[in-house]
Every structure is written in structure tokens, then in C-alpha cells.
A = this chain, B = another copy of it.
Amino acid sequence: MSDRVKYILDEEKIPTHWYNIEADLKEKTPPPVDPSTGKPMDISKLECIFSKGAIEQETTHERYVEIPKPVRDIMRNWRPSPLFRARRLEKVLDTPARIYFKYEGVSPSGSHKTNSAVAQAFENKRQGTKKVTTETGAGQWGSALSQACSIFGIECKVYMVRCSYDQKPYRKAMMELFGGTVIPSPSPYTEAGRAVLAEDPNCRGSLGIAISEAIEEVLKGKDTKYCLGSVLNHVLLHQTVIGEEAIKQFELADDYPDIVIGACGGGSNFAGMAFPFLGEKLRGGKDVEILGVEPAACPSLTKGKYAYDFGDVAKMTPLMKMYTLGSFFIPPAVHAGGLRYHGMAPQISNVARQGLMSARTVQQLDVFRDAVIFARAEGITPAPESSHAISAAMDEARKCKESGESRAILFNLSGHGHMDMAAYIEYFAGSLKNYDYPEEEIAMALSGLPSL
């Protein structure tokens, strides 16, 4: 086994194809359903919202989908991302575990989000889209799409969840630096926003609300399309470059993970890392445990209901079969805006449903405690979202210390936390808290699930 601390690949090693888990699943992911008919959606109806390329990628069952050459060319600026062996963290934890992490914070947005942003912006450019709208929670997706659109000369408008907008002024500035326009959501500029504000003028917002606003603007606009930063099949597909690279890097390391860990919000960074490994296993490759980690405050995979639900609060999306907390559940304002989504990606939900992965929740204070330990050991300041994966990986490494077992633990460090220092300031000031499972609010939101 190698004694390196990082495994890097030349830009020629950027994967030429995305990996599609659908090809290897025995039970296919249930299709989206048209809420007006209760029947599987006529996908072409979505062409008024999404680019044609996105819709093709959304529905294909091909195992490998070619990454367009211009997208690969752009990704050369930060891909392949490094795979690190966390040797100093292992020492600090005094664990026999071998801890690896893939670091997506090297991208323009400082997170994995740029992988999909470039792919989506490219498909829009190809068909002549002049403007795109989107939602953003933590601001990573909004930064990524702003920058990708800037490369292709497309206008980009971002509805940013109000609580993140207030917590993270630097993210807004970064989106503007990259040429995007940022609107706090709920906003007075859309019907969906106005309806929410009428009920609660101080609403802290949710991804579900921001999605409604962004889609509404598309439906009213011209040459305007919508881009989503997670949840959908094509977004998960775009992120599989992460796991595909990691597989090559583990060959360099002459090692293989026993467990692959990712933080789960909508699910794209998790799936991007985990699905290629799961695919190898499903095709008869090495056994590997897959673990999704979510905040206790927004536990869709662990506490949600597997049901058809809307992706947004204003019920503008098709119905998707997923683990959901109810589309009008507004999660507590934890400092992990990227994980504050009521549902889990349909493909991940389907994989979880079939027992091909497990999931657990972590509490905010444990996440920050472990983020600090990690930062001091490895010299990387992690995003709070990514720190959910760090914390679970460290727990696995602590178990190894107890058992004496030397497992290879891989997690996805989906982004840096340079724009999240306000959260660290609050943590050090002792003003962050844990959140109990918001049982009543979730029960109420679930009671409103559409009946099919």
C-alpha cells in the first residue's frame, strides 16, 4: 500500500462518461407522476422548464452517458479533484482505520455543485437559452451556476433561501462576482413568494419555496429555463465523475473502501460518490457499505415516508416517489443550508428502499466539534454540510479504535467552509444548538401528502 497523502490524476483522466445507477438496479426508480392525472408523466411536458439535454439525461437507462467534450474541457480547471488519505486525522484519532476523502472544494464554487452546473449550462447554451433561474440553499449551487453561466454568456438569476441569505452575505457576493443576480426567497416578485409572505412575513424560507419561485419565473419568461442543483436523476448523474475518479485513485493507492460515506440533502454529492462504487458491487465487484448522513433536524431518509410528493412548496413540480417529510415542511435553520430539503432524490430513495444503503442522522454540535478536529488535523476548513460526512466517518474510525479493526473509510468532502465562517463563529461563541426531531411539524406536513 502506498504511503502518500494524496492521489492526483492528470486532466486526461477526467472521466469521459457519467455512470447511471439505473442500469444496474433490479427494481427501477419509479417515474415521476403528473399530479393532474395521477399517471406517469409525459416527460416532453417538462421541456418548457428544463433543457432538452437535461430531460434526455433524466430518463435514460444507459449505463454510461458520454460527457460532452466542452464540459470535460471546462472541468479541467479543477478536475480530477484530489483524493486524500487523512493521515494526520488518523493519528489524532489514534485509529487503525484508513481514512480517505475526496475533496470537491477545489472547484470554482468551492463545492461539487460546479460539476452539474457546467453540464446544465452547456445544455442550455446548446439550445439557445438566454437566461436560467434556480434556487440555492447554502449558496454553493447558486455560485456554481452563476460561474458556469458566465462562461457560456447566459444570464443567471438565483432565488436564495432567506435564512442562508442572511447567514451568508459572502455567498451572495460570490454569486455576484461570478455575474449572477441574487434574490432572497420568499420574495415579493412571484405569486409563490407572495403567498408565503402573506402567511408569514418573516418566513425563513426553504428550498421548496425557492424552487417554486424559480420555476414560476421560467413559466412566465422567454428563452428562460430552470436548473435544479440536486434531487433529479440527471443531477446525480453529473456528480458521478466524483466516484468514477475515486475508483481510479484507489487503484493508485492500492486499496479499496470498506465503507463510502456522504452527506445527504437532496442527495447529489452523496450519489456522485457512492453510486459508482455501488454499481461495481451490483455488477459483482467488491463488497462495500454505503452510508448516507443527514441532519437530525431534517431527517428525510431516516424518518420520512416513502411516497409520491411534490418537489416544491407551491406544487409546481411533478410528483416524485421519494422519502419525504412533506413538501411544506420548513426545516429548522441549521447551519447546513444545503441539507435543508424535505425530500431525498428518487434514485437514492429507491436504493435505500431496496436495502442497498443505510442512513443515519447526526446532531449539529457533534458535526461542528468534529469539523474543528478535522480542520486542525488536515488543514482544510470544511463546509457544515460536508462536515456531516466527516462526523460520521470519524465515528466509524472511532469504532475501529475500539474494535482494533483497520477498515478503509471513504467520505466525500463536498466543499470548503470559507463562506460559512459565521457558523463557526457562532459555534465557538456557544450559540449553536442541537435540534430534536421536529416530530409535530413533520407529521403535519406529511398529513398533506397528495393521495394517489
- The chain A residues found within 8 Å of chain B, CB to CB, are 4-6, 8, 10-11, 76-78, 84, 88, 106-108, 110, 114, 147, 150-151, 169-170, 173-174, 176-179, 372, 375-376, 378-381, 416, 418-419, 421-422, 424-425, 428
Contacts and interface: CB of A to CB of B under 8 A. Distances in A.
A177 B381 contact: yes
Of A179, A379, A425, the most chain B CB neighbours within 10 A belong to A379
Nearest to A416: B418
Contacts of A178: 375-376
Contacts of A418: 110, 170, 174, 416, 418-419
Contacts of A10: 8
A415 to B, nearest CB: 11
A381 B419 CA distance: 12
Query: What 4 A-B pairs are tightest by C-beta distance, nearest first?
Result: A108-B379, A418-B418, A170-B421, A173-B421
A135 B166 CA distance: 32
Contacts of A421: 169-170, 173-174, 177, 419
A174 B151 CA distance: 31
A425 B169 contact: yes
Contacts of A177: 372, 375-376, 381, 421, 424, 428
Given A177-B424, A372-B177, A419-B418, A77 B379 contact: yes
Given A6-B11, A11-B5, A78 B379 contact: yes
Contacts of A372: 177
